[in-house]
Amino acid sequence: MIRLPRRYAAGLLAALGVTVLLATATACGIRPTDVPVDAGPAPTRATCDAPPGEDSQDSEVFLVCGSHVNPVRRPLSLGATAQDGAKIAGALLSELQSAPGRNERDAGFTSEVPADLRVSGPVGGDPAGTLRLSERPAALPATALVQIICTFAANESLGDGWTVMLGGPPDGKQDRPKTYACSTATRASPEEAQDTIRRRINGP
């Protein structure tokens, strides 16, 4: 019987182990490779399907899903504030700032509206129905601004289903209120529509 030195015996056992592993992988149909395999992105549950409203009196707010801004219905009663546009706008703004519910999260909805943003009513000289934000509209992220425009415009006490009058803090002519439209194009891609929104904000 031939006795191999211990270090040679250990090396031989290691080599045999690698051979066995390669043979097993080949037998299972797996081809060994040194190149990392990109299996693609992990599967997602996002569907952008808005959860159904629970009541015909639910209020509509606009949230973000992927690169789009879409409506969802929230059980928000505005009956007590129906004659006060600023209070209605404040309640809707709070909904935009609150965390999406579980069903909304599962569908892929989020919100980009800043938590510290506030809204108030018109000041002297403003057209009737004007809503003043605590930040200039031009300073808001495009997606957040589209959320606000569409949410306010959809409420019959604030807009006409299509447009709403918005301004920033009343600190000068640069913040004159302007009419903003909730268009299909801005909802579909707020970031791509950002230049159009800013031209509207800064235009005459």
Tens of pLDDT along 64-91? 998 899 999 998 877 655 568 999 999 9
* Average model confidence (pLDDT) across the chain: 77
In the chain, the percentage of residues whose pLDDT exceeds 90 is 44
**20-59 per-position pLDDT tens digit:** 444 444 444 445 444 444 444 444 456 898 877 666 678 8
Among residues 70, 46, 108, 99, the alpha carbon closest in space to that of 189 is found at 70
Enumerate residues 6+ apart whose C-beta is below 8 A from 171.
none
Evaluate if pTM is beyond 0.75: no
Helix, strand and coil percent figures for the chain, each rounded to 5:
40, 15, 50
The SS3 assignment for 81 reads helix
Q: Give the model's pLDDT for residue 84.
A: 85
- Across 42-51, 113-122, 188-197, which has the greatest mean pLDDT? 113-122
Among residues 82, 59, 88, the alpha carbon closest in space to that of 72 is found at 59
Among residues 113, 116, 129, the alpha carbon closest in space to that of 177 is found at 129
Among residues 107, 96, 67, 91, the alpha carbon closest in space to that of 192 is found at 67
